[in-house]
Amino acid sequence: MSINANEVVTQMLKAAKQVFAEKWPETQRYAESEITLFTERFIDIEKLRMSGEITEARAKSHIEFQKQSWQTVLLAIQGMSLLLVEEAITAALNAVKDMINTAVGFALL
């Protein structure tokens, strides 16, 4: 039994796109929300410094604190994106599993 290469590509892409369409917006919303929060905090640090309520040294400490925190968020986004890629690959392979296995005559996938 022959395999239609175009059909395999189409099915795999469709399955992968579906995963991204469903799951990526959640990661995107999370990233956007955190960007807003960090921006507000940096503005607050500046306000406290300009009003003299905190020293320059303390302001720098706050900035470093927020930078560490922001890096943690970026790593989480990186991790969630990698998991999304894994899920998309799995979905793509599952979409063509029966087609491939039938063609080769054994459970290759």
Partner 1 sequence: MLIEKHMAKHLLVYILCILVFSTIGCSYVKPVSVYDEQMDKGITALQKNTEEVLLMIETYQGKVESTYEYHRAYYRQAIIDVSSLKIRAEAIQEDNLSTKMLEQLLNNIIRFEKDHIEGIAANEVDLYRGGFNSQFTALLSLELAKKRIK
Name the residues that contact partner 1, by CB under 8 A.
2-3, 5, 8, 30, 34, 37-38, 41, 44-45, 48, 53-54, 58, 61-62, 64-66, 68-73, 75-76, 78-80, 82-83, 85-87, 89, 93, 96, 100, 103-104, 108-109
Phi first, then psi, for residue 108 (nearest 5°) are -70, -45
For 51-93, strand residue ranges (E) read none
Whichever of 28 and 61 has its CB closer to partner 1, that residue is: 61
Round to whole Å and give the CA distance between 66 and 74. Answer: 12
Tokens read off for 90: 């799995």
Tokens read off for 34: 């955190």
Whichever of 20 and 30 has its CB closer to partner 1, that residue is: 30
Q: Residue 40: CB partners within 8 Å, gap ≥ 6? A: none
Task: Find the shortest distance in angstroms from Cβ 50 to partner 1.
Answer: 13
Task: Find the shortest distance in angstroms from Cβ 76 to partner 1.
Answer: 4
Task: Find the shortest distance in angstroms from Cβ 21 to partner 1.
Answer: 16
